Each structure stands twice: as structure tokens, then as C-alpha cells.
Structure 1
Amino acid sequence: MKTISKLGMMLALAGSLFLASCAGSYYVYERPAEPVYVRPVAPYPGAIWIEGDWVWQGGRYVYFRGHWDRPRPGRVWMRGAWERGPRGYRWHRGYWR
């Protein structure tokens, strides 16, 4: 009985990890205009500005303003970008590389 429940737990965990890794690509015909706002002053020396991000919510892309972050040792922030393709525009999120 314990073996079956352990197996069930492992399968459930594996399934949830698989579904979490299946991030959808959402396309729009028109690229949304980025809102204009003033970047706040850096809160401390060496802070890195992370540009705003577009997140798919409620059937459309919603803009979240940028923020300051601590630099990560040995890594560089790669900002997000819009990609135009035959199906329209889609957003590629920024990431640490």
C-alpha cells in the first residue's frame, strides 16, 4: 500500500512539473504600446534596472512596470523583447543569463 501511494505521489509531482513547463505562446495582431513612465531613482549603488514585463492575463497582454534588483554574481540581465512572426507578435520574457 505504501508503495502505491509513493508511486501515485511521484506521478502527480511529475505531471504537475510537466504542465508547469508548458508555458503557452500567445500571439496578438498588434503589438501593445509600452506605457510611458519615469524610472525611479536607484535605491542603492549598483542596482540593476529590470525593464517592465508583459504578462498574458484575461486574453490580453498586461504590462507590469520595471523595478530595481540586485545584480546576480556572474550573470547578466537579458531584457524581454517582442517577436514578430506569421501569426502576429509574441512576448519573450526577460531572464538572467
Structure 2
Amino acid sequence: MKALLHRALGLPLALFLLAGCGSSLPVPPTGPHLPSEPAVVVPYPPPPARVEILSPPDKPGLVWIDGEWQWRSRRWAWQPGRWEPVPPGAYFAPNATVRRADGSLVWFAGVWHVPGKK
């Protein structure tokens, strides 16, 4: 009986506690990569993302850009996350690894897309 009561209260309590863990982390507006962007053919996907401990931004108005694995010649290298200002009217296209129809694996770096800039 006691175990049943603990189970019955456990899930709602866990959900309530998780709801309180919401984040107000300022993140950039996001969007797609452009067809004209260079894609890097890679032999294998990147490792899982690393967990990062964030420090508060040193200026107001900055957004958090997640860390990412970047392809460097013949291996993946970790680029830590960072605080950045949002260029006016811009959106951020996060890094992406995509399997093409021909079976090749390509990687796109995370980049800002600013209207009117190429």
C-alpha cells in the first residue's frame, strides 16, 4: 500500500518539479541553412554534444549560442558555446549534419544569416 502511494504521488511530484526547472535562457531566432551554403562532406557523424556550465552574459541583450562539434580536416573538434549579440534582422542557422539521397553525410556549421549580406 505504501509503495503504491509513493508511486501515485511520485510522478505528479516529479512533473511539478520539472516544470519549475524552466529556463529563461535568451536564445537567438533560428531558421534554415541556405541552399547556397557550403556543405562539408564528412565520413561519420559528430559525437554527442557536451554539457556546458553557463556563466551569465557580461552585457545585456546577448543570446546564447550552443556549443557544437566542428569538422576540422580529419576530425571533430568541440567549439564551446558563447554569448553573442543578435545582428539586426538576423537569424541563426544551427549546425546540422545531413544524410543526402546519394548516401553521403554532410555537415553545415552554425551561422548567422543577415538580410542583405552574402
Q: Are residues 1:87 and 2:87 paired?
A: no
Give matches, 1:50-61, under 5 Å: 50-61=65-76
Equivalent residue, structure 2, for 1:26: 41
TM-score (norm 2): 0.51
Identity %: 27
Which residue identity lines up with residue 74 of structure 1 in the other structure? G
Which residue identity lines up with residue 92 of structure 2 in the other structure? W
Deviations 1:10-50 (A, max 9, x none): xxxxxxxxxxxxx6723133432111122222222210112
1 or 2, which has the higher helix percentage? 1
- Structure 1 spans left out of the alignment, 5+ residues: 1-22
Distance in 2 (alpha carbons) for counterparts of 1:71 and 1:58: 29
Stretches of 4+ moved more than 6 A in 1?
none
Equivalent residue, structure 1, for 2:90: 75
Q: CA deviation at 1:58?
A: 4.7
Q: CA deviation at 1:56?
A: 2.3
Contact 1:49–1:66 (Cα < 8 Å) also in 2: yes
Distance in 2 (alpha carbons) for counterparts of 1:61 and 1:44: 31
Aligned-residue RMSD, C-alpha: 2.1
Identify the range of structure 1 (58-67 vs 29-38) with the bigger mean alpha-carbon deviation. Answer: 29-38
Distance in 2 (alpha carbons) for counterparts of 1:80 and 1:24: 11
